[in-house]
Chains A and B, each alone.
Chain A
Amino acid sequence: MDLTFVDAILTKHNRDTRSLLAIMQDIQEEVRYLPKEAVQHLSKELSIPLSRIYAMATFYNSFHLEPRGKYTCTVCMGTACHVAGAPRLVEQLERDLKIDSGKTTPDLMFSIEEVNCVGACALAPLLIVNGEYNSNMTSDAVSRKIKKLKKEEGGA
């Protein structure tokens, strides 16, 4: 893995360990997860133990240690979305994609994620696919959305 992008990020943050969270966020922004090689490189370059980076990566919900799918299907689990039936959307995604929430399909096409609240409660329940907001969703609409995406990708 070419790690020059990690070096560029380190330079941007003046190799300051106090910016560790931001550095890790920038790495994830680049490749959508924290690759093992990048994390090891980070540990060496900043002279901080791997365990500390691992602690950060597992404490903060936004980090992923495994590659993400091309489409990230995020279900908002805020209170408004919950009372409007958000858990059923997650179940539907799990059924349609045959993976558990938080996981990625083996073909690296879809990931299911849950987020606490994105503050768009008028649209509840909400499914976000790669930043695109789908409002007032139902289980059925979720299925149709996934079917459409799969079709676009030429799969079954």
Chain B
Amino acid sequence: MTKFTSVEALHSHREALLATKKDENKKTVSVCAGTGCKAVGADLVVEAFKAEFAKNGLENAVHLKATGCLGLCEKGTLVMMPADQTVYHSITPKKVPTIVEQALVQDGRADDFLFTDPETGAKQPTMNDIPFYASQKRLLLDKNTLIDPICLDDYISVGGYKGLAKAIEIGPDKVIDEMKKATLRGRGGGGFPAGRKWETCRNAPSDKRYVICNADEGDPGAFMDASLLEGQPHSVIEGMIIGAYTIGSDEGYVYVRHEYPLAVERLTKALEQVRASGLLGENILGTGFNFDIKINKGGGAFVCGESTALMASIEGRVGEPRAKHIHTVVAGLNDKPTNLNNVETWATVPLIVERGADWFTQMGTKGSPGTKIFSLVGKVNNTGLVEAEMGATLRQIIFDMGGGIRGGRPFKAVQTGGPSGGCLPADKLDVPVDFDTLWNEGSMMGSGGMVAMDDQTCMVDVARYFLDFLKFESCGKCTTCREGIRRLHQLVSDVAEGRATEETLDLIETLAETVEKGSLCALGTSAVNPVLSTLKYFREEYLAHVRDKKCPAGVCKELITYHINENCTGCLICKRRCPEQCIAGENKKIHVIDTSKCTKCGICKDVCKFDAVEIY
């Protein structure tokens, strides 16, 4: 690997790369190798392409790239041709020979595997034709489609480490100016402007400073940071090097969830590459600046996403947050000034430094410039990763990018911000998504998790789910959080299980206020958002549980019963499968469930091919 001893050496290497790689994209096949596609067999697809290339004598004529997440996880494995951005979906090894034959040998398109408009049936061959991609603003995610995550040359050829070169050229003061002007707000959910954080940290008197990348993405239903680390680890590393150079730090950490083995693997490889090429380590690019990055794997504690808890964890202690009378930028890790930013924030830094704050602030809203990556999951058609300009409405994200609700069912709510966020109903669909607006509506941006829900989702159950999650994840330091969330969970369970009265709802609200006011860190103070927002927007549903002892969505076990309707053909399958043996019936006669014995496991509904099992 080339070792760059100066900024000029890096630039000339890039130019040399561009000269040789100029024609490479014309014959490149990108296979998505993100967690989602890997889980449905992307590795086998890659192998199938290799075999097929060999068969057709194309080994040297076509480049095969296993890239980061291409976004539309729902339709994996995705295959893309970077030359004209043709996308093929749901690719299995069996389909590979056809693609190679039609798209590469004959130089056309494999029409059978293109996206189609569900209404007109028209083909949507390229990214520009597919509404999922066309309605996004893919500032960061675009790189995922272009590069092999662990190929440094790929990253350099798309402009990688230009931001670092620019930072060295203009010096730390100007970098801080640009960062402040760009008002890049913390993408982890806090929304604090990164530039101001950097400045305070840089000005804090000390002989040692740290930079940390918070990759402890704990919100359930969120995988933006994982995809960035998997798809473009170098963006994050470059951001951190720029940060360290600006702040005056020589030691950095990436604190990443152990549940993300692929991210850890790719980050490790990327770090080895930058060390070998003089972009990390001692005397970076011949400037005399020293900086290195270590990886720390989390232990599966949600609270460690909180900055002070995370730092305690790096110090080899239990991850309990502390009061932040003195901010971590002044006294953080090992009591030294520490600048912590989230993965997406770090990945955005090189772009801002390279292209300038003016370019960045053109996008998004005044208070929240730029773009934000969301993981759009739940009951939407296009589950996956989307990047939208700040200020895009929930409707644009869920319906244009997400393709609407699965099975044409009605939209009921969207949960944003993970366990700290809230649920917004249909009449808030036109709310613009930015840090401040969502907060004012009783939810929050959080790190970017977005879970769409339909009429079969019970909001009481959702509130109970998050309280159960937080009850377990509370570190136990503050009484209001430790005991308060536990009691809130009991009260909401009372509602879900039909034991509550209307007074229970008042009690929930009163207790929620106490938990919010009496807890130290954001885990406790925001823990009440899911329950308060559902109570605010879906009170009728709570009342149905309380007054009528019914769960309208058919979710809360204690309030529902399973029945078999006249669709039943008497096929005996449910009868055989019922673990409680409480279904009676004969061949070709409608079966009956003995509701007194039924444990509501749902197996009968799962196995019924005739839609004959109903929930009341």
Contact = CB atoms under 8 A, between A and B. Distances in A.
B74 A122 contact: yes
A121 interface: yes
Contact of A80 (B76, B226, B296, B377): B377
A60 B473 CA distance: 10
Contacts of A139: 601-603, 606
B478 interface: no
Interface stretch (A4-12, A65-73, A84-92, A145-153): A84-92
A107 interface: no
Contacts of A61: 299-301
Nearest to B41: A133
B301 A117 contact: no
A106 B316 CA distance: 33
B258 interface: yes
B449 A92 contact: no
Nearest to B302: A116
B553 to A, nearest CB: 10
B577 interface: yes
A63 B319 CA distance: 14
A80 B221 contact: yes
Interface stretch (B92-100, B212-220, B498-506, B586-594): B212-220
Nearest to A121: B377
B301 A123 contact: no
B100 to A, nearest CB: 26
Interface string B282-320: 000000000000001111111000000000011111110
Chain A facing B: main interface SS: helix
A95 B379 CA distance: 28
B457 A121 contact: no
B220 A56 contact: no
B451 A120 contact: no
Given A120-B35, A122-B74, A59 B299 contact: yes
B439 interface: no
Nearest to B449: A79
B574 to A, nearest CB: 10
A40 interface: no
A39 B39 CA distance: 35
Contacts of A88: 601-602
Interface residues of A, number: 43
Contacts of A155: none
Contact of A22 (B76, B219, B296, B465): B296
Contact of A116 (B35, B462, B469): B469
Contact of A62 (B73, B218, B258, B579): B258
Contacts of A24: 299
A109 to B, nearest CB: 20
A60 B259 contact: no
Contact of A60 (B301, B377, B457): B301
Interface in B593-613: 601-603, 606-607
Contacts of A83: 378-379, 451, 453, 457, 462
Which of A21, A60, A61 is most buried by chain B, counting CB atoms within 10 A of its CB?
A21
B606 A120 contact: no
A140 B47 CA distance: 32
Contacts of A60: 298-301, 319
Interface string A114-128: 011111111110000
A80 B300 contact: no
Given A88-B601, A118-B259, A135-B40, A78 B607 contact: no
B383 A122 contact: yes
B468 to A, nearest CB: 9
B223 interface: yes
A116 B39 contact: no
A124 B73 CA distance: 11
A140 B296 contact: no
Contact of B316 (A18, A123, A124): A18
Contact of B601 (A18, A59, A91): A91
Interface string B315-356: 111110000000000000000000000000000000000000
Contacts of B465: 79, 82
B384 interface: yes
A140 B299 CA distance: 32
A120 B315 contact: no
Given A25-B258, A79-B378, A85-B602, A119 B415 contact: no
Interface string B16-42: 000000000000000000011001100
A141 B593 CA distance: 22
Contacts of B601: 88, 91-92, 95, 139
Nearest to A23: B316
Given A80-B221, A82-B465, A140 B606 contact: yes
Contacts of B259: 115-119
Interface in A19-42: 19-22, 24-25
Nearest to A126: B39
B470 to A, nearest CB: 11
Interface string B221-239: 1110011000000000000
18 contacts: A18-B315, A19-B316, A21-B299, A61-B299, A62-B300, A79-B220, A79-B377, A79-B378, A80-B383, A88-B601, A88-B602, A115-B259, A120-B73, A121-B36, A121-B73, A121-B221, A122-B383, A123-B39
Given A60-B319, A79-B418, A143-B603, 13 more contacts: A21-B316, A25-B297, A60-B299, A83-B453, A95-B579, A95-B601, A116-B259, A119-B226, A122-B73, A122-B383, A123-B39, A139-B606, A140-B577
Which 4 pairs across A and B sit closest by C-beta, in order of nearness?
A60-B299, A119-B223, A122-B73, A79-B221
Interface of A: 16-22, 24-25, 55-56, 59-63, 77-80, 82-83, 85, 88, 91-92, 95, 115-124, 133, 135, 138-140, 143
